[in-house]
Chains A and B, each alone.
Chain A
Amino acid sequence: SQELEQSPQSLIVQEGKNLTINCTSSKTLYGLYWYKQKYGEGLIFLMMLQKGGEEKSHEKITAKLDEKKQQSSLHITASQPSHAGIYLCGADLTGTASKLTFGTGTRLQVTL
């Protein structure tokens, strides 16, 4: 079974609409990273969260880590075609700062 589950798996939204992607784990998320990937390309770092309840924003993207540190959400406001891609959450599930385990990914399409 997947240690880090993302939902939804895919999403199609109209330009200008808001959307939320979730990343859930049964284990504590010691360090939680959000990345964006264009298919067949490398990963672009978006944000990193460490503390329970932490929230960070960059341009129209906001990421939160819940108090229990077992779920994170990525919220995009007023989506644009440039937001299209695959969003991946990655987390340290061991607390050893050694490696990241990645979620299943969410494929986002933004229609005009």
Chain B
Amino acid sequence: GAVVSQHPSRVICKSGTSVKIECRSLDFQATTMFWYRQFPKKSLMLMATSNEGSKATYEQGVEKDKFLINHASLTLSTLTVTSAHPEDSSFYICSARDTTGGWGTEAFFGQGTRLTVV
């Protein structure tokens, strides 16, 4: 099946610094990528939807200036957590699918990135 690669799998950063997380679709063109955040023992919370070549659509309550999303190509989307603080520590997962065919295609998920801000 299709593979979505997310990097890094774990990152520890100092408070105030920025962290970039990459999400790549390895064998298909991902017209749409989704970024989720997962708190311990909680479900996935959609943060934003990014479409290749256009601005991301953020969910209510998600700070777009803090969580910068770039989807510059059909195989790569990046999430940058700017000026990270300890409360940003979480598990971030990306998802990618080819939406041109509507539903009927799987949404593939990356392995996730555990961010710890100290």
Asked whether any CB of chain A lies closer than 8 Å to the CB of B44, the reply is yes
Q: Which residues of A contact B42 (CB under 8 A)?
A: 104-105
Contact status B106-A48, CB under 8 Å: yes
Q: B99 touching A97 by the CB < 8 A rule? A: yes
Cβ A42 vs Cβ B49 within 8 A? no
Set of chain B residues within 8 Å of A30, measured between Cβ atoms: 103
- Taking CB atoms, residues of chain B closer than 8 Å to A98 are 32, 49, 99
**With A50-B103, A97-B99 known to touch, is A102 a contact of B43 (CB < 8 Å)?**
yes
Which residues of chain A (16-62) have a CB below 8 Å from chain B?
A: 30-31, 33, 35, 40-45, 48, 50
Task: Give the bracket for the number of chain B residues in contact with chain A.
Answer: 20 to 34
B residues near A42, Cβ cutoff 8 Å: 4, 6, 93, 109-112
A33 near B6: Cβ-Cβ < 8 Å: no
Chain B 70-100 against A: per-residue CB contact (8 Å), 1 yes, 0 no?
Answer: 0000000000000000000001010100010
Residues of B within 8 A of A104 (CB): 42-43
Whether the Cβ atoms of A41 and B44 lie closer than 8 Å is: no
The main secondary structure of chain B at its interface with chain A is strand
Q: How far is the CA of A72 from the CA of B46 in the complex (A)?
A: 21
CB of A105 within 8 A of CB of B43, answer yes
Q: Which residues of B contact A44 (CB under 8 A)?
A: 109
B61 / chain A contacts, CB cutoff of 8 Å: none
What size tier do the contact residues of chain A reach? 20 to 34
- Tell me the bound Cα distance from A107 to B40 in angstroms: 12
What is the CA–CA distance of A50 and B106 in the complex, to the nearest angstrom?
12
Tell yes or no: A7 within 8 A of B by CB. no
Q: Is the C-beta of A12 less than 8 angstroms from some C-beta in chain B?
A: no
- Contact between chains at A40 and B43 (CB < 8 Å): no
Chain B positions 32 through 58: 1 when the CB is less than 8 Å from some CB of chain A, otherwise 0? 101010000111111001000000000
Complex Cα gap A98–B99 (Å): 8
Q: List 10 A-B contacts (CB under 8 A).
A: A31-B103, A44-B109, A45-B1, A45-B109, A48-B104, A88-B43, A88-B44, A99-B46, A100-B95, A102-B46
Q: Which chain B residues have a beta carbon within 8 Å of chain A's beta carbons?
A: 1, 4, 6, 32, 34, 36, 41-46, 49, 91, 93, 95, 99, 102-104, 106-112, 114
